[in-house]
Each structure stands twice: as C-alpha cells, then as structure tokens.
Copies of this chain bind each other. A is one copy, B any other.
Amino acid sequence: SELLELSEYPTLLHAYSSLMEIKRNILIDIATKIPFDAGVYYRFDDYHDQLIPEAWICGEFRPEKVLRGKGISGLTLERKRSLFVPDRKTHPSFIDIKEEAFIQGSFISVPVFTDKNFMGVITLSRDNEKSDAFGVEHRYMLEILAAFLSSEMSSRLLYNELEDSYFSTVSSLTRALEAKDSYTKGHSERVMDFAVGTAQMLNLSFESVRKIKYAAILHDIGKIGVSDDIITKDSSLTDSEYGEIKKHTEIGYDIINDSGMFSEIKDLVRYHHEKIDGSG
C-alpha cells in the first residue's frame, strides 16, 4: 500500500514552478512517502568533484560537503548506484566516519542522474533509538522517487536550454536588424530591460514576466518586412511611406501568430502603437 503513493509524485513535481522550488521541497515530499528521521539532498558539484547539501530535514544536525568515496553519500556518488545500510554501526565501511546524522541507524542513499549528467544524491536515515530500521523495500521506493525526480529535472533542464536558445536567436536577430540604423540600435533591448524591470517591481508572476520579455524583444520585429530606406529616412515621410512603416505591427503579428505560441504576445505586438483612447 506504500506503493500507492509513489505514482502521485510526478503530478506533484509538474506543479512546481521552477527547479529551485522542486529542490526546496524534495525532502518534505519524500517524507510523506518514506518516513525518516534525517534526510539530505546533495547537489553534485562537478568542478570540485564533491556533494554540496542543498536541502535537508535533520533536526539539529547540519550537513556538510561530502567528498567522493567518503561516508555513505560519498560512496553513492562513487558507485553511481543506490546503497542500503541496515545498521551503520556494524557496517565495516563506515565505522570510522562520523559525518552522518546518526551513528546508530539505518541508511538508504540513492543517486539522481540522467543519461547526460550526475545531478546529486539523496540520503535518508532512521535513528535506531527512535524508529524501525529501513527495509530493502524502502531502497526500491526511494529509487523510484529518485527516478521520477531525475526525469522531471532533466526534462526541465532540456526545455530551459531550448528556450534560452530560442530567446537568444530572436534577440540576435533583433540586434542585427536594429544595428543597420543608429537611430534604432539597441532599442528593443532597452524596451525589454525597462518592461521587465517594471513587471518585476509590480511582482507579476514568473509566467507574465516571461511573456513581457518576449513581447518587448519582438515588438518591432515586423520591421524586418519594411524597406530600410523608409526606416532610416532622415526627412519626413510621405503618406505612402508612413503607410508602409505602420505595417510593421501587422507583419510582427503575423510572424508571432505563425509560431503557434505566445497567443497573448501577438496582440501586444500588434497594438503597441495604440493609445489609451484607441487611436494611434
């Protein structure tokens, strides 16, 4: 029946708004499924080849950095597979090491990793004096939870990577377009900085700030379809030239509409020259 709860974890994970929020809640979420007396989530620090505690529930004990191969968590990092220690006190490998929360207790420790990266280690322990020791089934349960966590974290990392790339492409294009004219150079990026700064001061949601960021960087992208002569003309524009330049909002709207995303953004781009009274 403990198994029943495990398959709910992905739904919980999906609901978190960011990777940081997932990490902050790892141990609280695990505690509802596998009760423990002390638990730590360590992030793997690739550069120094060590584990850094990022989240923990362990009473007064304050977890420290762990070197590869040292103690239970360090051994999990070294071996890249889960470890079950029914009684730490009698286990030959750990008799001399004092970095864990309890000396007298049972431990389970599992790696969190994807096909690309080793991400971290989760180590749980139960104090012999307070609780029953972990059984081997708890090891398998924690492995399943860690596998859900790995999937979610790696899918978010991949998605964020693609989104960063998307945004960089779009802003490089804007930059290249505006660089042709000293009058517009850097304009969209300045608008973006101002708009995002304002949105953050207003405490808008992460999702709203993201939309505003895209709308700002894309608001003049329709100028890609307007002739340079008109955009860079120093003297005043004829009526037909003015008609041409006004099309940039519609061209921008069409470009964003084609993308299939950003349903709210396309209207921000289309109507960015509209005034409060509807003229513009």
Contact = CB atoms under 8 A, between A and B. Distances in A.
Contacts of A114: 14
Given A155-B155, A165-B260, A229-B228, A221 B7 contact: no
Among A9, A151, A152, A228, find the residue whose CB has the most chain B CB atoms closer than 10 A.
A151
A7 B143 contact: yes
Among A15, A154, A171, A255, find the residue whose CB has the most chain B CB atoms closer than 10 A.
A255
A197 interface: no
A225 B180 contact: yes
Contacts of A158: 155, 159
A203 interface: no
A105 B251 CA distance: 62
A97 interface: no
A237 interface: no
A144 B11 CA distance: 12
A150 interface: yes
B261 A151 contact: no
Contact of A224 (B140, B151, B152, B177): B177
Contact of A169 (B10, B152, B164, B170): B170
Contacts of A152: 151, 155
A172 interface: yes
A7 to B, nearest CB: 4
Contacts of A7: 140, 143-144, 146-147
B151 A115 contact: no
Nearest to A137: B3
Contacts of A9: 147
A172 B258 contact: yes
Given A11-B115, A150-B10, A259-B168, A176 B3 contact: no
B141 A255 contact: no
Interface of A: 3-4, 6-7, 9-11, 14-15, 114-115, 137, 140-141, 143-144, 146-148, 150-152, 154-155, 158-159, 161-166, 168-173, 176-177, 179-180, 221-222, 224-225, 227-229, 251, 254-256, 258-262
